[in-house]
A and B are shown apart, each in its own frame.
Chain A
């Protein structure tokens, strides 16, 4: 079956520009997570959604970062006024969101490079 998909796979942008990263979770998964992975590091939590609402956005580094999931399926991570320090791999994961079925399945990531 289809796994988590993310588009684009790579994104190069200039400092100060706006970018959108898209995540298509596994069908039927109510929980959706965004993580950021810097080179040589483990993924760091950004935000997660249960359905359409952001249940925990405590990992978003500042107000330049925003994410939406308007219909409870596809999610978009939005970064305004990009900075060179935003360069990283942005990972999306989804899970069934139920106790005992908490396995998070990750997508391949979007590699963002801010010049």
Chain B
């Protein structure tokens, strides 16, 4: 089955810096890669996703890149703000319209003012 590894487990940055979180997956059949943000006491919230027919996707300060050959995908947050502080999870699945997500172990991002 699919296995997703995520690094780093914690990341501390100063406000305004960039943050990068990296994930690798094992199943070459996976073709859908969402990223979720989870704040304390809340459920995960989708922030961006990418499909395997696209190499990069950007939404304002957030971007995701995908390298299918290497089975790597990364989340990039620019101009970080204190409200970006949360736990971020990557996930992978085979996109068939309905699919189970396999999550990474999470990255705790702390943005200091």
Contacts and interface: CB of A to CB of B under 8 A. Distances in A.
Given A40-B106, A42-B89, A43-B89, A105 B46 contact: yes
Contacts, number: 66
Interface string A84-115: 00000001010101111111111111000000
Contacts of B102: 45
A42 B104 contact: yes
A59 B101 CA distance: 11
Given A42-B89, A42-B105, A102 B46 contact: no
A105 B104 CA distance: 17
- In the complex, which of the residues A33, A43, A105 has the most CB atoms of chain B within 10 Å of its own CB atom? A43
A48 to B, nearest CB: 6
B106 to A, nearest CB: 5
Interface string A12-47: 000000000000000000110101000011111100
Interface string B69-113: 000000000000000000001010001111111111110000000
A49 to B, nearest CB: 9
Given A40-B106, A41-B106, A102 B43 contact: no
Contacts of A33: 100-101
- In the complex, which of the residues B32, B49, B100 has the most CB atoms of chain A within 10 Å of its own CB atom? B100
Contact of B98 (A45, A91, A97, A105): A97
- In the complex, which of the residues B95, B101, B104 has the most CB atoms of chain A within 10 Å of its own CB atom? B101
Nearest to A108: B43
A99 B43 contact: no
A4 interface: yes
B8 to A, nearest CB: 14
Interface of B: 4, 6, 32, 34, 36, 41-46, 49, 89, 91, 95-106
